[in-house]
Amino acid sequence: MENKTALVLGASGLVGAALVEILATRDYYQQIHLLVRRPLQLASGRCIQHVIDMDELQRYNHLFEVNDVFCCLGTTIKKAKSREAFRRVDYEYPVEAGQLAAQHHVDGYYIVTAMGASSRSSIFYSRVKGEVEDKLASLQLRSLHIFRPSLLTGNREEYRFGERVAEKISPFLNPLLVGPLKNYRSIKASTVALSMALTAEKPVKGTYVHLSHQMADQVARHS
């Protein structure tokens, strides 16, 4: 086992939970710290959870003394109830985490944003995702990996109409989306998570964007 440590934000989410499960079953990280706002049932003794208020992230500065930081935070406008509250979760927390990661000279910062992320987008969601990417890229992190999935599928308790439809039709629709359209195929949250884990195990300097079909291809090559 490598003597490496990781910090995960958003560990209770669809991608985050899959990521923690993958990291805990692989041998790359000896310790996996989770920043959560409610206690989780932990399957692995290698995971250490810290129940915190994300608004006070600065107080947990010391927890960023790790090799790699993974950010799987996110919400929806429906859940957040306002654009400001959405932006806090999808922009401010990831940027603050990025600043703390940069201060501690972590090896890598790995974040999930979304397909279509662009600070020039007229769509609020895509614009916030683009802005968080741009801000993180300006922080001079040693290594920044941005994962931009298309619609996610997986077992989510909460009802999200688009995801439920995608789950049902993706076995038929995905094979029809070929060539440049491949990027529009829905993707399993576990595939995104495995792509993040595999990428972190081969550290490279610089900023990289991983599109949905690239994550799917990487994971298919691996299995």
Could you say whether residue 205 binds ligand NAP (CB under 6 A)? no
Contact region with ligand NAP (CB under 6 A), list: 10-18, 20-28, 97-105, 198-206? 10-18
Of 91, 93, 109, 129, catalytic: 129
Q: Is the dihedral of CA 4, 72, 204, 131 positive or negative?
A: negative
Catalytic residue, from 125, 135, 182, 184: name it: 125
107-146 residues near ligand NAP, rule: CB under 6 A: 112, 114
Sequence-ordered list of residues with C-beta below 8 angstroms from that of 134, at least 6 positions apart, any chain: 119
For residue 63, the minimal CB distance to ligand NAP (Å) is 15
Stretch that binds ligand NAP, among 12-20, 21-29, 170-178, 215-223 (CB under 6 A): 12-20
CA 167 to chain CA centroid, nearest Å: 20
Count helices and strands in the chain by DSSP H and E runs: 8, 9
Out of 10, 98, 108, 130, the residue judged to bind ligand NAP by CB under 6 A: 10
Nearer to ligand NAP, 17 or 102 (CB): 17
Nearer to ligand NAP, 89 or 141 (CB): 89
Distance CA 56, CA 151 (A): 31
- Exposed (0-12), middle (13-18) or buried (19+): which is 45, by Cβ within 10 Å? exposed
What whole-number distance in Å separates Cα of residue 139 and Cα of residue 160?
34
Contact call for residues 66 and 97 (beta carbons, < 8 A) = no
Q: Which residues are catalytic?
A: 125, 129
Residues in contact with ligand NAP by the rule CB under 6 A: 10-16, 37-38, 54, 72-75, 89-90, 112, 114, 149, 151-152, 163, 189
